[in-house]
Amino acid sequence: MKDICIVLSGEAGQGIQTVEYVLTRVLKNSGFHIFATKEYMSRVRGGNNTTEIRISSERVRAFVEKIDILIPLGKNATGRLRDRITRETLIIGEESFIKDAGGEKIEVPLLEMAERIGNKLYANSVAIGLVSGLLKADRETLKLQIRKQFEDKKEEVIKQNIDAALEGYKRGEELSGRIKVSLKRDDAVKKECLLNGAEAVGLGALAGGCNFVSSYPMSPSTSVLVFLAQNKSDFGIVVEQAEDEIAAMNMIIGAWYAGARGLVTTSGGGFALMEEALSLAGMVESPVVIHLAQRPGPATGLPTRTEQGDLNLVLYAGHGEFPRVIYAPGNIEEAFYLTYKAFNVADKYQVPVFILTDQYLVDSFYNLPPFNLDDLKVEKHMVKTGEDYIRYKLTENGISPRGVPGYGDGLVKVDSDEHDEFGHITEDFTTRVKMVEKRLKKGEELKKEVLKPKLIGDENYKVLLVAWGSPLEVIKEAISDIKEVALLHFSQVWPIDNSVAEYLKRAQKVIAIEGNATGQFANLIKAVTGFEVKERILKYSGLQFSVEELRKKIEGVV
């Protein structure tokens, strides 16, 4: 693949996010495929954060370690990247920002250029222009995007920022010879959209009919809450920041009881507090949709980093036994479609449904064709109650028609105690047994809707990689050139069915790739199929996998 990887680096509060935002749009609208992801510290000012932007002639969707161009936006912005800087890395910027770094340095006095135009603060615009020029992006697009970015500002400020960007552009163009890769453009890309994982989850929720969100802020899940809050008026959604996670989850169950479609978004530690209420959902047979964006634990851990360490947590969350569904989207498209689907599945089976993402997925974005909404539909499984309505009617498949209060002539009685068909508390042992079996039957039913894992790569594989959730695209790229290797990727991690074993047995070697320290999914596969995935590539530093490290490790074992 022909691609260029640009990294922006600076302190929290220096505006990397603005540069990232504008630059990715300029580049995409110039016809380049792009991918971007960030890593940042759990602080508001200072420290060191970076954003990686990959620009390519083909679709690009994964994190790489190599840095072709590094733009430090302040002092001490290159130290943490030491291991990723090679002799080929172009480091462009203020002399004082680049001086400590290795690589090929090109001094560009961004601050001075900005000041000349009117204000030091325009340095970020110069930088945006600089990169645009380097890649010969579309000038008009650059101007447009800068204008959009500052549209709330006075015309003079907008103009000066545009000038600054153009100054940068000029300097960039001059330097463009230093870039050895030449990228093709594709006009079709311009019509594509740029979305990050959080937005995809949010849009999926909207498409799933979500009209009630209650959550307590917690990185990295808050962005979904923010997305829905920003759009609440347009969609008539109730968005409530709860006093704690316990309230949030109980509210959502209350909301579903009254006929709303509710979502909580949280992270592992917040979810740990919701488990009693999850068990409540299991018992009262309430639908509920939970978006859990993973970060490294235990406890507070690394609040703004990524990990896949909470699979076991959600698999077994809550006391007692009741069924659940766990989706683990591998990319942005899946984040959208699975979140959408989660609402219908939750409603139909009256069970909790999880969307298990992580910081890497929610904070990454790439260009993709707009989702096709034509086949999407909010399937409401709610019924109008009759006089003789009973909430927990025993049925063949365990699913009872779900009524809501005030809709129809019946009363809707739900109970966290073991209950009879009416919903009244009972201590009758026979009823107890029937109700346990009723709830578990829904778990059996759910197996009929299981999403099969996807086999990617060489169908005649000797080595089979097994993965779930967000490493999908990284692995895909890593194995794109390796023969006899395939990836079996799970976007649904519970339930999974035994048929999986067939894939595994066909391989000479099976390797699990997971972003945790114990191989939770590999262990789950063994628990379900008895098949032991002995080799494991695990990462638990707080960072996502990179294409290079996986390629190396996989080549090492092939």
Partner 1 sequence: MDFERYISKDIAWCPGCGNFGIRLALMKALEELKFDPRMVVIVSGIGQAAKMPQYIGVNMFNGLHGRALPVATAIKVANPNLLVIAESGDGCMYGEGGNHFIHTIRRNPDIVNIVHNNMVYGLTKGQASPTSVKGFKTPVQTDGVILEPFNPLAVAIALDASFVARTFIGDIEFTKEIIKEAIRHKGYALVDILQPCVSFNKLNTYEWYKENTYYLKDHDPSDKELAFKRATERGKLPLGILYVNHNKETFEELARKGDKRPLYEYEVNFEKIKEMINQKTL
Strand (E) or helix (H) holding 433: helix 429-446
Enter the DSSP assignment of 419. B
Q: Is residue 131 helix, strand or coil? A: helix
- Is 350:392 a contact under the CB 8 Å cutoff? no
Strand (E) or helix (H) holding 555: helix 547-557
Does 412 engage in binding with ligand TPP (CB under 6 A)?
A: no
Give the separation between CA 501 and CA 370, rounded to whole angstroms: 35
Does 543 engage in binding with a second copy (CB under 8 A)?
A: yes
Question: From the list ligand TPP, partner 1, ligand SF4, none, which binds 296 (C-beta under 5 to 8 Å, kind-based)?
Answer: none
State the nearest-atom distance from the C-beta of 368 to a second copy, in Å: 30
CB neighbour class for 430 (10 Å; exposed up to 12, middle 13-18, buried from 19): exposed
Angle at 549 between CA 357 and CA 56, to 5 degrees: 75
Does 296 engage in binding with ligand TPP (CB under 6 A)?
A: no
State the nearest-atom distance from the C-beta of 271 to ligand TPP, in Å: 9
Does 468 engage in binding with a second copy (CB under 8 A)?
A: no
Name the residue nearer to partner 1 (CB basis): 204 or 519: 204
Half-sphere exposure of 307 (CA within 13 A, CB side): 25
Q: Is residue 512 helix, strand or coil? A: strand
Stretch near a second copy under the rule CB under 8 A, chosen from 18-26, 163-171, 300-308, 487-495: 300-308
- Is 371:333 a contact under the CB 8 Å cutoff? yes
Does 436 engage in binding with partner 1 (CB under 8 A)?
A: no
β-strands 325-327, 492-494: how paired? antiparallel
Does 230 engage in binding with partner 1 (CB under 8 A)?
A: yes
State the nearest-atom distance from the C-beta of 44 to ligand SF4, in Å: 4
The 535-538 sheet, strands edge to edge: 454-457, 485-490, 463-468, 509-514, 535-538
Among 195, 288, 290, 474, the residue binding partner 1 under the rule CB under 8 A is: 195
Q: How many Cβ atoms are within 10 Å of 557's Cβ, its own excluded?
A: 12
Does 318 engage in binding with ligand TPP (CB under 6 A)?
A: no
Q: How many Cβ atoms are within 10 Å of 428's Cβ, its own excluded?
A: 11
Which tokens belong to 188?
A: 């079709």
Query: Which residue type, as a one-letter code, is found at position 467?
Result: A
Residues facing 39 on adjacent strands: 50
Q: Which residue is nearest to ligand SF4 (CB)?
A: 44
Question: From the list partner 1, ligand TPP, ligand SF4, none, which binds 425 (C-beta under 5 to 8 Å, kind-based)?
Answer: partner 1
Among 255, 284, 479, 510, the residue binding a second copy under the rule CB under 8 A is: 284
- Is 414:423 a contact under the CB 8 Å cutoff? yes
Does 542 engage in binding with partner 1 (CB under 8 A)?
A: no
Does 320 engage in binding with partner 1 (CB under 8 A)?
A: no
Does 302 engage in binding with partner 1 (CB under 8 A)?
A: no
Stretch near a second copy under the rule CB under 8 A, chosen from 329-337, 343-351, 411-419, 503-511: 411-419
- Is 41:56 a contact under the CB 8 Å cutoff? no
* 402-431 residues near partner 1, rule: CB under 8 A: 404-417, 422-425
Give the separation between CA 241 and CA 248, rounded to whole angstroms: 8
Q: How many Cβ atoms are within 10 Å of 503's Cβ, its own excluded?
A: 18
Name the residue nearer to ligand TPP (CB basis): 265 or 367: 265
Stretch near partner 1 under the rule CB under 8 A, chosen from 61-69, 175-183, 250-258, 511-519: 250-258
Name the residue nearer to a second copy (CB basis): 320 or 369: 320
Which tokens belong to 38?
A: 């960030």
CA 290 to chain CA mean position, Å? 13
Which residues of this protein are in contact with ligand SF4, per CB under 6 A?
Answer: 44-45
Give the separation between CA 512 and CA 510, rounded to whole angstroms: 7
* 51-80 residues near a second copy, rule: CB under 8 A: none
Q: Is residue 313 helix, strand or coil? A: helix
Does 208 engage in binding with ligand TPP (CB under 6 A)?
A: no
* 470-509 residues near ligand TPP, rule: CB under 6 A: none
Q: Which residue is nearest to ligand TPP (CB)?
A: 218
Does 299 engage in binding with partner 1 (CB under 8 A)?
A: yes
Query: Which residue type, as a one-letter code, is found at position 545?
Result: F
Angstrom CA distances, 165 to 16, 69, 200, stand at 15, 18, 30
Angstrom CA distances, 488 to 52, 453, 517, stand at 27, 6, 20
Name the residue nearer to partner 1 (CB basis): 252 or 488: 252
Name the residue nearer to a second copy (CB basis): 167 or 307: 307
Does 246 engage in binding with partner 1 (CB under 8 A)?
A: yes
Does 216 engage in binding with ligand TPP (CB under 6 A)?
A: yes
Among 13, 109, 217, 405, the residue binding ligand TPP under the rule CB under 6 A is: 217
Does 436 engage in binding with a second copy (CB under 8 A)?
A: yes
Question: From the list a second copy, ligand SF4, ligand TPP, none, which binds 259 (C-beta under 5 to 8 Å, kind-based)?
Answer: none
Name the residue nearer to a second copy (CB basis): 109 or 301: 301
Question: From the list ligand SF4, a second copy, partner 1, none, which binds 518 (C-beta under 5 to 8 Å, kind-based)?
Answer: a second copy
Name the residue nearer to a second copy (CB basis): 197 or 282: 282
Binding site for a second copy (CB under 8 A): 41-42, 47, 246, 267-269, 271-273, 275-276, 278-280, 282-284, 296-303, 305, 307, 309-310, 312-313, 315-322, 415-418, 427, 429-430, 432-433, 436-437, 439-440, 516-518, 523-524, 526-527, 530-532, 540-543
